[in-house]
Amino acid sequence: MGRIMLIAGNWKMNGSRAGAVNFVQALAALNLVPRPEYALLICPPATLIGQMAAPLAELGVRIGGQDCHQDPNGAFTGDISASMLADLGCGYVIVGHSERRALHGETDHMVRAKARAALAAGLTPIICVGETWAEREAGRAAAVVSAQLEGSVPDGVDPMRLVVAYEPVWAIGSGRAATVDDIAAMHRVIRAGFGGKCGDPEGGLILYGGSVKPSNAAEILALDLVDGALIGGASLEAADFMAIVDAAAA
C-alpha cells in the first residue's frame, strides 16, 4: 500500500466540552503511536474545534470541520466559512455529507462550491457521495454515485487534496455496512472517475463510510481500493476509534 490512509471520525452533532476533554485523555492513555502509513482526523462539532485542536495535534491527530459555507465571509447567519475553520487549525472539512444533502437540500452544485471554497482556504475537502437503498435496489447505485462525483468534485483538483468518501446512505448509522464486494465495486467506479478530476488516476484518496466499527474495520480497510474510513458513531469513543485505527495498521 503506497498511499497514506486517512482514518477520520465524524462526530456529527454530538459532544460537549467535558466529553472532548475525556476523549483526548482516553486517546492519550491508549498510547497512540503516530505511524507514517496513516493519518488520523477528528471532525468534532464546530463548537469544540478551538478547544480540541491543540491537544489533538499534540497526539498527532488532525482536526477538521463537518461543513462550510461556499463564501469566505458575509451576511450568512449561522454559517461558518472554510477560512474560519482554517483559522481554528483545521486541515480538512467534510462537504456534501448525505445528512446535509437530505436535510439541508444541498445539491451537487452547492457541494462543489463548498469544496472549491475549502481548497481556496487551504483545506482538504472530504467530498461525500453515496446512493440510497431505493437507488441501489433499482440498479442505479453506480450511476448515482458517478453523477454525484462528476457534479460535486471540482475539476483540476490537486491529486494530493482529492478525498472522496463513499457513504451509502442506507449504511450510515444503520449498523449494516456495505459488503466488501459492493465497496470494492463502487470504489473501482469512483477511481475510474479520478483521472478526469485530478489528471492522475492513481491520485487522491477514496474512503468508505457507513457503519464502520471495530468488528468490520479490518476486512474493509484491507481492500486494495479503500484508502481509509469515515466513521460516525464508532468515533465517539476513543477505544472504538483506536480499535479501528489498529485494524488499519494490521
Q: Would you please indicate which residues are annotated as catalytic (active-site) residues?
A: 97, 167
Q: Which of these segments, 104-112, 130-138, 178-186, 225-233, binds ligand PGA (CB under 6 A)?
A: 225-233
- Binding of ligand PGA by 10 (CB under 6 A): yes
Instruction: Closer to ligand PGA by CB, 83 or 130: give it.
Output: 130
Terminus-to-terminus CA distance in the chain, angstroms?
Answer: 12
Instruction: Closer to ligand PGA by CB, 70 or 98: give it.
Output: 98
Instruction: Closer to ligand PGA by CB, 14 or 146: give it.
Output: 14
- Binding of ligand PGA by 228 (CB under 6 A): no
Q: Which of these segments, 26-34, 59-67, 100-108, 166-174, binds ligand PGA (CB under 6 A)?
A: 166-174
Distance CA 31, CA 175 (A): 28
Fill in the amino acid letter for 118. Answer: A
Contact residue for ligand PGA among 20, 56, 63, 172 (CB under 6 A): 172
Contact residue for ligand PGA among 209, 227, 238, 245 (CB under 6 A): 209
